Structure 1
Amino acid sequence: MHANTLNFSAGPGALPASVLAKTREAIVALPETGLSVLGMSHRSDWFLAILDEAERNIRDLLGLSERYAVTFLQGGSSLLFATVPMNFATPAFAPPEYVISGYWSARASAEAGRVSGHRIVWDGQRTGFRELPVLDRLDVDARAAYLHYVSNETIEGLQFSAPTGDLPVPLIADMSSDFLSKPLEVERFGMIYAHAQKNLGPTGVTVALFDREMLERIPSGMPHILDFRTQIAHGSNYNTPPVFAIYVLTLITRWLRDDIGGLTQMQYINEAKAARLYDLFDEMGDVVTVHARRPWRSRMNVAFTFGDARLDRAFLDLAETRGMSGLEGHRSLRGLRASLYNAVTPEAVEALCETVSEFALQRA
Structure 2
Amino acid sequence: MTMSKVINFAAGPAKLPPTVLAKAQAELLDYEGCGMSVMELSHRGKEFTKIIKDAEADIRELMAIPDNYSILFLQGGATTNFAALPLNLAGPEDTVDYMITGSWSKKAAEEATKYVKNVNKVLPKPANGFTEIPDKSEWSLSPDAKYVYYCDNETVHGVEFSTVPETNGVPLIADMSSNFLSRPVDVTKFAVIYGGAQKNIGPAGMTIVIIRNDLLGNAQAITPTMLDYSVMAKNGSMYNTPPCFAIYMAGLVFRYLIDNGGLAAYSKKSDAKSGALYRAIDGSDGFYRAPVEEKSRSRMNIPFRLSKEELEPVFLEEAAKKGMVQLKGHRSVGGIRASIYNAITEEEVSTLIDFMDEFKTTHA
Give the TM-score taking structure 1 as reference length: 0.95
Gaps of 5+ in 1: none
**Which residue of the partner structure matches residue 337 of structure 1?**
337
Deviation at 1:198, TM superposition (A): 0.2
Is 1:246 the counterpart of 2:279 in the alignment? no
Counterpart Cα distance in 2 of 1:306 and 1:337: 11
Bigger shift: residues 224-233 or 120-129:
120-129
**Which residue of the partner structure matches residue 316 of structure 1?**
316
Instruction: Rate the CA distance shift 1:214–1:146 in 2: closer, same or farther, 3 A.
Output: same
SS of the equivalent of 2:66 reads coil
**Which residue of the partner structure matches residue 187 of structure 1?**
188
**Which residue of the partner structure matches residue 29 of structure 1?**
30
Equivalent runs, 1:88-237 vs 2, <5 Å: 88-90=89-91, 94-117=94-117, 118-134=119-135, 138-163=139-164, 165=166, 167-219=168-220, 222-237=223-238
Counterpart Cα distance in 1 of 2:50 and 2:201: 18
SS of the equivalent of 2:123 reads strand
CA RMSD of aligned residues (A): 1.8
SS of the equivalent of 1:97 reads strand
**Which residue of the partner structure matches residue 279 of structure 1?**
279
Counterpart Cα distance in 2 of 1:159 and 1:4: 30
Deviation at 1:2, TM superposition (A): 5.2
Deviation at 1:124, TM superposition (A): 4.7
Deviation per CA, 1:111-169: give whole Å up to 9, x if none: 11122221111145323100003569733112111010100001111100121645231
SS of the equivalent of 2:348 reads helix
**Paired residue type of 2:76:** G
**Paired residue type of 1:231:** M
Deviation per CA, 1:37-88: give whole Å up to 9, x if none: 2222111111111111111111101111111111111111110001111111
Deviation per CA, 1:179-231: give whole Å up to 9, x if none: 11100011111101011000000001111111112114334563321210011
CA contact (8 A) 2:51 2:251 kept: yes
CA contact (8 A) 2:95 2:120 kept: yes
Counterpart Cα distance in 1 of 2:137 and 2:237: 33
CA contact (8 A) 1:291 1:303 kept: yes
SS of the equivalent of 1:96 reads strand
Counterpart Cα distance in 1 of 2:3 and 2:11: 18
CA contact (8 A) 1:9 1:327 kept: yes
Deviation at 1:25, TM superposition (A): 1.9
**Which residue of the partner structure matches residue 270 of structure 2?**
270
Deviation at 1:284, TM superposition (A): 0.4
**Which residue of the partner structure matches residue 48 of structure 1?**
49
**Which residue of the partner structure matches residue 291 of structure 1?**
291
CA contact (8 A) 1:136 1:166 kept: no
Deviation at 1:296, TM superposition (A): 0.6
Deviation at 1:338, TM superposition (A): 0.1
Deviation per CA, 1:244-296: give whole Å up to 9, x if none: 111000000011000x2110001001110001100111110210111211111
Q: Alignment length, in residue pairs?
A: 362
SS of the equivalent of 1:239 reads coil
Is 1:9 the counterpart of 2:10 in the alignment? yes
Instruction: Rate the CA distance shift 1:99–1:38 in 2: closer, same or farther, 3 A.
Output: same
**Paired residue type of 2:359:** F
CA contact (8 A) 1:5 1:344 kept: no
Gaps of 5+ in 2: none
Counterpart Cα distance in 2 of 1:107 and 1:4: 36
Instruction: Rate the CA distance shift 1:124–1:279 in 2: closer, same or farther, 3 A.
Output: farther
Counterpart Cα distance in 2 of 1:82 and 1:164: 22
Is 1:38 the counterpart of 2:67 in the alignment? no
Instruction: Rate the CA distance shift 1:135–1:84 in 2: closer, same or farther, 3 A.
Output: farther
**Paired residue type of 1:81:** F
Counterpart Cα distance in 2 of 1:65 and 1:136: 32
**Which residue of the partner structure matches residue 305 of structure 2?**
305
SS of the equivalent of 1:115 reads coil
Instruction: Rate the CA distance shift 1:10–1:284 in 2: closer, same or farther, 3 A.
Output: same
Give the TM-score taking structure 2 as reference length: 0.95
CA contact (8 A) 1:319 1:325 kept: yes
